[in-house]
Structure 1
Amino acid sequence: MKYYDDLRSFIDALDAMGDIMHVTREVDCDFEPSAITRRSYEIQSPAPLFHHITGVESGFRLFGAPASLSSRSDMPYARVAMSLGLAPESTGLEIVEALSAARHKPGIPPVRVESSAAPCQQNILRGEQATLDRFPIPFAHDKDGGRYANTWGTLIVKTPDGKWVNWSIARVMKVDGKRMVGLIVPSQHIGQIWAEWVKIGEPMPYALVQGPAPAISCVSGIPIPAHADEADYIGTLAGAPVEVVKAVSIDLDVPATAEIVIEGHVSITRDCQEGPYGEYGGYLGSGSSAQPTFHVETITYRDDPIWPMSITGRPTDESHTLWAMGLAADALTYLREAELPVKAAWIPEDSTVHWLLIVMPENWRELLPGMSSEELSQRIGEVLFKTSAMVFIPKVYVVDDDFDPTNLREVVWVLSTRVHPVGRRAVFEDQRVIRLPQCYEEEEYVAGKGAKVVFDTLQTTRHLHASFEQGYPQEVRQRILDNW
């Protein structure tokens, strides 16, 4: 296992295993990089690295699909695993376990280095020179409200008293060279911190970091408990503190090896229209909303910087790999803390973060004496739907452990044959609903409330599968394999 402390060493490692597609011809910055990246997701090709983009300074590059499925069929989750310092052949369930386990270990706080030792400050732009127009920011989709300056970068903010520092990913749209507008959801951590600045009537300092160490991008995009510092959690995953440097113009520390850092302040009112944007559910956006303005004041960057991007849409992109694994790890952590003997949690990529599978071991009835499967499903829903991350999950399936939950073919078979047409489900009415899940009616989005469900698919008696593995004597199977 190896931890990559900057984006470039990570790209080099992917390149060595044949998982980078070098696009050396000049590409138009409007749609071409995004369209190539989107196709790379859909055919599971190597991750595209764009070396020549029309209209920007020579040397500036774009990097697409940083944490999607690998083009290596023998290690499909290699990009996510390697980002987190895990072995490239790690399975999805192993990654979820690692993310959950790290939450119970002591955090390792970051360490500050001098500016001279921070590659992210090799070049410094101030005033009118600090303009987004210098950088290759494409349209993600042709129906979007603008060019999205943040799809895989880390936003760094902290409370006015400095006690809580938050690193997160949120979509941010370019308005012009000096302004962006970002989606600030009140219930999310960045929204809670922004509300504290609004209370005191002062604009919120922010740093938008493009291309930090891959683990920083990944952890920024998954749920961890409120008031926990992502930097400390990343240090735990890395086994060493994250190196940070003081930002040039604001009182924030930023990752020292980042490619690009944008510094400025966020308005205290929702004074600019953001969206629409094609989201992880797989549909192009159709609406916009008033959101705060991110004013651009200073930009620092490495020589020949690399701007990473995630182009969300139909499976499979970073929303369906990394983010889904983070949500599964969150669910797994809370259920085990509730003393439920859950074996695994998994969100199938092709469900676009609309299904969550909770896998129970064969002996769960012995571990929970007197509890029926209906009562277990009810309890699982009570635990999960109180957590903030589960606002994104409308459907939970409680399943046995006699199949591979990461194999979509097996998932479809199990759900098709074990979900009862009418009964065996726990319905939770009037749960919090936001617009990102695609399965609700307009009146439910307006009200902010809708139903969620836990399906009980647990078998009273385990049935053997009509399969090669379970349908024939072991000696017959071995003889066939030996002569295959």
Structure 2
Amino acid sequence: MLSDLREFVEMVDDEGELARLDGVDWNLELGAVTEVVAEREDGPALLFDDIVDYSSGFRVLTNPFGTIARTKLGLNMEPSLGPLEVIDTWRTESNDYEGVSPTEVGADGAPIRENVHMGADVDVTAIPAPRWHAHDGGRYIGTGCTVITEDPDTGWVNLGVYRSVILDDESVSVLFLPGKDGRITMEKYHERGKPCPVAIVLGEDPHTWFASSMTAGRQESEYELAGWMRGEPVPVVESEYTGLPVPATAEIVLEGTVPPLSERNCSDGPFGEWPGYATPASENQPVLEIETITHRDDPILLGIPPLKPPGGYYEVPIRTAGGVWNQLENAGISGITGVWSHVFERPQFLTISIEQQYPGHAKQVATAAATVPNGVYGGRYTIVVDDDVNVTDTEDVLWALCTRCNVEEIDVIRDLYTSPLDPVSDEGEAKSSRMVMNACRPYEERDLFPTVNRADDELRERVLEEWNLDEI
């Protein structure tokens, strides 16, 4: 269990997976350093201080979950688990999920209240928000953030990740996309002619950030999900201006209100997004008018900017792969032995391994996986392989695709729901097509299919140990 972001930094440092860099420029250089390091399989987490134009103490953390080991730490998973075991453990444990409600603490016990800026003291540009990519339309302060809203009808508190760019000293954008919980809540206030209270957390404990990046479900609590991941309640404190519950150990919190779009809106973008492209500016977007900024002493801004795939926010695709696996089994489809997403924690390149049980089994799995909730949004290619293929190994999957897939049997499913950030989605509509591919041995001929030309596992393990092959 991690109590806050600082404890995570300390633990990562103890494991030798943290690099400290002083004097880096916030304007493109910090983003480029992050990009180059994140592209390495063993790239460390990066803690920047003495950032150009800023005094020592206002820090930025990037690439926090850029290795499987750090992702497991952030998820509170056993260090010994392999990548697919993390997915399987997460999804099976989540079947017995019982949320752990947050616990409220007083302001005196909340480190986030160590510094409070209100009124004329509000200046969001005092935080060293980077300009991450060359084509970005501004300094995106909200990337590794948690945006908090409260439903005016039910009191339900939602946590979500929505990007945010600095507009001026006292305001930032909040990209509430249509259909997302934050947008639905905001519109309820605006329908009443009222501004929507919002708090943006810029540096939370990993469990809370992971929970915010997942879909807990409408009227379900991400705070309870984070508490379940931690194994104990998340301590929250009533925020200074809006009264929204914010993590007591957060690093930085911006709070204020979002007025109706007819009163104020902004252009958000361009911005380098998760598909790997600079998405164009989006007009008529919400604006958070900041009334209060609170932060800890020597705060840490958590930066998790989208980078060109296959890199992602974290190295084990629990949200996509675990969700698809559970959704397939909940639909009554058996024989699933593994699920993996190979590109940016999205189902753009989704692979499912199965133990074939009947004719048409592979095609059924492929079609279902491409259309279940966690497999459809942003999806493109869905591949089903036999259980002798390692779904976490892209090269192994491509080998199966190139040797077991009959091209004539590839299917295309048209007009499925996707992300509006998908660069090939239909103009003006968030929909696109999917390709589903059966890369399994033909069921009726599986016993006649050529034998794989590879030493068996027992022999491989014996020679590995006997001849010290790991040291060669």
Q: CA RMSD in A?
A: 2.3
Indicate which of 330, 335, 344 corresponds to 1:337: 330
Residues paired across the two proteins, number: 458
Aligned AA (1:90) = L
Secondary structure of the residue aligned to 1:299 is: strand
Name the CA shift for 1:97/1:476 in 2 (closer, same or farther; >3 Å): closer
Aligned AA (2:247) = P
1:457 aligns with 2:439: yes
Partners of 2:129 and 2:463 lie apart in 1 by 58
Shift of 1:350: 6.8
Indicate which of 353, 356, 360 corresponds to 2:350: 356
Indicate which of 456, 460, 470 corresponds to 1:469: 456
Please give the residue correspondences for 1:393-408 in structure 2 after superposition, counting only pairs within 5 Å: 393-408=379-394
Partners of 1:317 and 1:127 lie apart in 2 by 40
Partners of 2:200 and 2:128 lie apart in 1 by 15
- Preserved contact between residue 343 and residue 359 of structure 1 (Cα < 8 Å): yes
1:428 aligns with 2:413: yes
Aligned twin of 1:39: 36
Shift of 1:417: 2.2
1:163 aligns with 2:155: yes
Aligned twin of 1:73: none
1:255 aligns with 2:247: yes
Q: Render the CA deviation track for 1:29-50: whole Å, top value 9, x for unaligned.
A: 2122111111111124211111
Aligned AA (1:358) = I
Name the CA shift for 1:225/1:419 in 2 (closer, same or farther; >3 Å): farther
Aligned AA (1:467) = R
Query: Sequence identity, in percent?
Result: 27
- Preserved contact between residue 347 and residue 379 of structure 2 (Cα < 8 Å): yes
TM-score by length of 1: 0.88
Indicate which of 218, 228, 232 corresponds to 2:210: 218
Shift of 1:14: 0.6
Q: Which runs of 5+ in 1 are unaligned?
A: 70-76
Aligned twin of 2:422: 437
Q: Which deviates further from its counterpart, 11-20 or 181-190? A: 181-190
Partners of 1:157 and 1:388 lie apart in 2 by 23
Shift of 1:177: 1.3
Please give the residue correspondences for 1:86-165 in structure 2 after superposition, counting only pairs within 5 Å: 86-100=77-91, 101-102=93-94, 104-165=96-157
Shift of 1:320: 5.7
Please give the residue correspondences for 1:187-226 in structure 2 after superposition, counting only pairs within 5 Å: 187-226=179-218
Q: Which deviates further from its counterpart, 87-96 or 244-253? A: 87-96
TM-score by length of 2: 0.91
Q: Which deviates further from its counterpart, 188-197 or 350-359? A: 350-359
Partners of 2:268 and 2:166 lie apart in 1 by 9
Indicate which of 273, 282, 286 corresponds to 1:288: 282
- Preserved contact between residue 354 and residue 437 of structure 1 (Cα < 8 Å): no
- Preserved contact between residue 370 and residue 376 of structure 2 (Cα < 8 Å): no
Aligned AA (1:432) = Y
Partners of 2:464 and 2:118 lie apart in 1 by 70
1:378 aligns with 2:370: no
Secondary structure of the residue aligned to 1:38 is: helix
- Preserved contact between residue 280 and residue 319 of structure 1 (Cα < 8 Å): no
Shift of 1:351: 8.5
Q: Which runs of 5+ in 2 are unaligned?
A: none
Aligned AA (2:363) = E
